[in-house]
Chains A and B, each alone.
Chain A
Amino acid sequence: MDLNLIKKLIKVVENSEINEFEYEEGELKVKISKNFNGLPVQSYLQNYSQPMMQQAPAVTAESPKPAVGETEKKSNLHEVRSPIVGTFYRAPAPDADPYVQVGDSISQGGVLCIVEAMKLMNEIESDVSGKIVKILVENATPVEYNQPLFLVEKN
């Protein structure tokens, strides 16, 4: 089957009120359905290490509904992103202890890390109070502008 035709069909479904579309011709079977449950299968955390799931209509079979509680958990999680391009450091100096560990409580204004670029030491403070759920970047590795660095579960 022509791939372009599938693409066209997806476009048509996307722009329409149709939620589900099935087409059968001999051996070929196409099913397009819109997913209205927000994020599918994947947990929120895993999305960072993988490309974003396509949320528009997709040519898939059934897509399981998110686990109970998942959506609620998501809204309570806050991402702290990098304000600049640079190198991510978890500690103020090479031989010092990291500012925070997973599981630590952090208050608003507490220092999370340093991002260094061109000798600029940029100290990143948390903009929320909560608990560090995940550190998304390895120490001393490069980060991009706006890249998520920490997941904080808000109080």
Chain B
Amino acid sequence: MFNIEKFDIKLSTETIGRNFIYCEDIDSTNSFLLKSKEYNKHGLVFFAEYQSAGRGRRNRTWLSTKEQNLTFSIMLKDGISADNINILILGASVAVAQALENLYQFKVNLKWPNDVLINNKKISGILVESTSKGSKIEKAVIGIAVNVNQAGFTGQFNIQPTSVRKEFRKEVSREKLLSEILNCFEEIFNLSINNKEKVLNDWRMRCNLIGEKIKIEDGDKTIHGIFEDIDENGYLQLKTNNEITSIHFGEISLPQ
């Protein structure tokens, strides 16, 4: 069972996670916050021990064993715009990576835009959802799931999963990890407003596919090329036949 006091004592943020909702069981923490009129304070964190309908991109499911992992969503309302939302999409994965490095000295790799990998296995998935009224972004919800103390995984996955426990070879404190992620995330959030380039560089230094031949798939479309870099908006720069294309969609992988 998640111990809120243990979490709170390690939290050093000003706003992120200062409003904290703990919940045993919910369909999806992102869905809840997106719909909720009541829980809409900037920085609020909604944590669930179990998600019955955890989601990934385009309604893929995210499965997580009860009381062993972290599944939570961060509500962002202030300082969110088309200008920094992309930086936060990448930045959320940087925050998770930093926390894993700080606490367990892992070598973390990031896969564009925001999968967090250890030894080429997925340890964390992030789903950012936002709502706009007309053309103004009103709120963004950063959904983060980290496999922490889950011992094994069964089923079919597009990327093989792993957990902190599997990589670190012992159970760890979920409370400590959550507070560390939020501490790192608050810093990233502030940087997304004041110093985007720093966030982009922190992302770049954890991406081992830059300069490599990659394959991008989106539905039935596939493009091959060289992953040149990410631009100032976080879009992937793909080099094909000496032309650079800006990519803002799709799943990337190394060609087999």
Q: Are A and B subunits of one complex?
A: yes
Contact residues of A with B, CB < 8 Å?
A: 80-87, 92-94, 96, 109, 116-128, 140, 142, 145-146
- Asked if B130 and A122 make an inter-chain contact with CB atoms under 8 angstroms apart, the answer reads yes
> Across the interface, which residues of A come within 8 angstroms of B127, CB to CB?
119, 121
Residues of B in contact (CB 8 Å), total 33
**Cα(A91)–Cα(B254), bound, Å:** 30
Q: Which of A82, A118, A140 contacts B235 (CB 8 A)?
A: A118
Q: Is the contact region of chain B dominated by helix, strand, or loop, or is it mixed?
A: mixed
- Asked if B89 and A118 make an inter-chain contact with CB atoms under 8 angstroms apart, the answer reads yes
- Asked if B59 and A125 make an inter-chain contact with CB atoms under 8 angstroms apart, the answer reads no
Tell me whether B103 is interfacial, beta carbon within 8 Å: no
**Cα(A116)–Cα(B86), bound, Å:** 11
Q: Is the contact region of chain A dominated by helix, strand, or loop, or is it mixed?
A: loop
Residues A119 and B134 in contact in the complex (CB < 8 Å), given A140-B219, A145-B82: no
**Cα(A80)–Cα(B135), bound, Å:** 7
> Across the interface, which residues of B come within 8 angstroms of A125, CB to CB?
131-134, 138
Q: Which residue of B lies closest to A147 (CB)?
A: B135
> Across the interface, which residues of A come within 8 angstroms of B117, CB to CB?
none
- Asked if B135 and A146 make an inter-chain contact with CB atoms under 8 angstroms apart, the answer reads yes
What total of A-B pairs shows CB separation below 8 Å? Answer: 94
- Asked if A122 and B129 make an inter-chain contact with CB atoms under 8 angstroms apart, the answer reads yes
Residues A122 and B89 in contact in the complex (CB < 8 Å), given A83-B136, A93-B59: no
Tell me whether B34 is interfacial, beta carbon within 8 Å: yes
Q: Which of B58, B136, B248 contacts A117 (CB 8 A)?
A: B248
Given contacts A94-B219, A117-B248, A123-B131, 15 further A-B contacts (CB under 8 A): A81-B135, A84-B82, A84-B85, A85-B233, A85-B235, A85-B248, A86-B249, A87-B218, A118-B90, A118-B235, A120-B140, A121-B57, A122-B137, A123-B130, A145-B82
> Across the interface, which residues of B come within 8 angstroms of A93, CB to CB?
58-59
> Across the interface, which residues of A come within 8 angstroms of B136, CB to CB?
83
> Across the interface, which residues of B come within 8 angstroms of A121, CB to CB?
57, 127-130
> Across the interface, which residues of B come within 8 angstroms of A85, CB to CB?
233, 235, 248
